[in-house]
Structure 1
Amino acid sequence: MGAGIRALLFQQILLLSCISYFACFATGSDTIFSGQYLFQNQTIISKEGIFVLGFFSPGNLFNWYVGIWYKNISFPTVVWVANRDNPISRLNSVNSFLELRNGNLHLFNNVGEQFGQQVLVQVRQRQLQMLLRQYF
């Protein structure tokens, strides 16, 4: 298995694990259900308060990304970025949102169109449950 494939596989496993670990902001559980939304001004924080999933803009307000970062570190340390090569522009970021639909995590722009025509993550289940442990 090539290094590129291993790196991609590791990133997908890390992402699924981190997303699985987050407590849902709406229900307070550790599961994100199909059909739930996450808007630009919202985040999901892991049950123990270690990780955050949401939208962020590093250093400026012109490019926005979807990512996972450590919560309690003074200098933001991002551990995963969904749209690294395709940031959301400031104009499209205002009402952008994430949706877990049919086991796929989608990113939508300010008018509800799928951003970049891509699925950020594909999973086999309709809900993601906690897999990642605190000592990750």
Structure 2
Amino acid sequence: MEDCEKIIVVWDLHPPWRNTAPCLKEDREKIFAAMEEAGVDPEKVALVCIHEELEAWLVADDRALTEFIRQRKHPHPVGRIPKTWRKNPDQVGKPKTKLTQLFQKEIGGRRRYIDYQDAGPIAALIQDTSRLRRSPSFVRFEEKVCSAGD
């Protein structure tokens, strides 16, 4: 990690496996302790917390979701993706669950959203970041990435 100019740590405040009440302060302390233990200069570390789950960024762009579903459902039409998701994606509770419900409704039957299988292809369909910028956590991430060389 010595060659890295900047390390950006992105984490979900409410991951499904979390059994305790989330605390940003505690999470920050644990992350910095782990970085220190790994010998990483804290000046190189930037933190970005997503207040729900990473999938909040995916639900921000209904165009990408519509295209992802359309590719799997063709020639049948795609139903409406809730526009409320894109208005404030960081406020969508349990976005992974919402995506599973959407997949079951649109693609059918037992089709669930599987993060390691579906997140990448959905993200690849995002044409620009204009809708993602409605997410304060994405804006923070974008700022950290863009300032990585500073």
State the TM-score, normalizing by the size of structure 2. Answer: 0.22
Instruction: Give the helix-richer structure, 1 or 2.
Output: 2
Instruction: Give the strand-richer structure, 1 or 2.
Output: 1
Larger radius of gyration: 2
State the TM-score, normalizing by the size of structure 1. Answer: 0.23
Point out which structure has higher relative CO (alpha carbons under 8 A, 6+ apart).
2
